Each structure stands twice: as C-alpha cells, then as structure tokens.
Amino acid sequence: MAPEWNHRIKLFVSRLWQPTSACMTCMPGSWTNIASSLHWAVAFKTGVLTGLLAVLLTFTPAASLYGNRYGNAILVGLLTIVGDIYSHNGHPPHPYIEHIGTGIVSGVLALIASYLFEDRARRIRNVWTQLVH
C-alpha cells in the first residue's frame, strides 16, 4: 500500500477515536448513558463522519494543517462540529452549544494526543520507565 494511504488510514483512526470520545463526554446524560448502545451509535457516527471528512481534506491544500499541532487541533475541532451536527440534533434551548462543546473537547484531545504520541510516544515511554524503575 502506498505511504500516503497508510497515512490516511492512521489519520482516519485517530479522527475516529477523538470525536467519538468527545461526543461521549459532551452529550447530555453521557455518564449515566455510558452503556447505552444508542448513545454509542451517535458518538460513533460522529467519529466516522469526522474521520471521513479528515481523509477527504488530505486531497486538498488544507492537508498542510495536519503538519502543525495547533492547526491540526483546530481542524479536528471544526470537523467534529460538522460531524456532530450531522449525527444528531442539539438539545433546546441552545441546540448548537453541545456541538461546539464536542468540537472543543475533540480539538483538545487532538492537541493532547499530539504531545503524548509524538516521536513514537516518547513522553509516555519516559514516564513509564521512571515509574517502573
């Protein structure tokens, strides 16, 4: 498989877990409905759509934003908002607040992941080494 498609697959997977996790966190009743299959279906739908949008953007000049951790986080947040709006309706009286919150949390998760997983998770390995020894 070509290296650019390997990159796109990794991008899809990372864009799948970040919005799904953010959606599970931000949906009203998230912690009381953690075992609800409907709740997970909506969160997963948000993650899949965000992942597909992220892969589609790799064919445009916007793909250069993925190289910068802050540009990446902003892009992930915006794509998550779009995916969340598509996945389900917001809750009254302010229906878009939940979608925006989900996008912000997803962007923050992407930013945190960029620090933790860079250089083959060097920071995590260093902390683990210090804890074990």
Q: Tell me the pTM.
A: 0.80
- What's phi and psi for 99, nearest 5 deg? -65, -40
> Average pLDDT by consecutive 10-residue portion of the chain (133 residues)?
85 85 75 76 88 92 90 92 86 81 88 80 84 85
Determine the Cα–Cα distance for residues 124 and 46; give it in Å rounded to an integer: 28
Determine the Cα–Cα distance for residues 59 and 37; give it in Å rounded to an integer: 34
pLDDT, position 78: 94
SS3 90: coil
SS3 108: helix
Determine the Cα–Cα distance for residues 82 and 48; give it in Å rounded to an integer: 12
pLDDT, position 75: 92
pLDDT, position 29: 65
User: Please, are residues 113 and 14 in contact by the beta-carbon 8 Å criterion?
Assistant: yes
pLDDT, position 95: 79
SS3 56: helix
pLDDT, position 30: 61
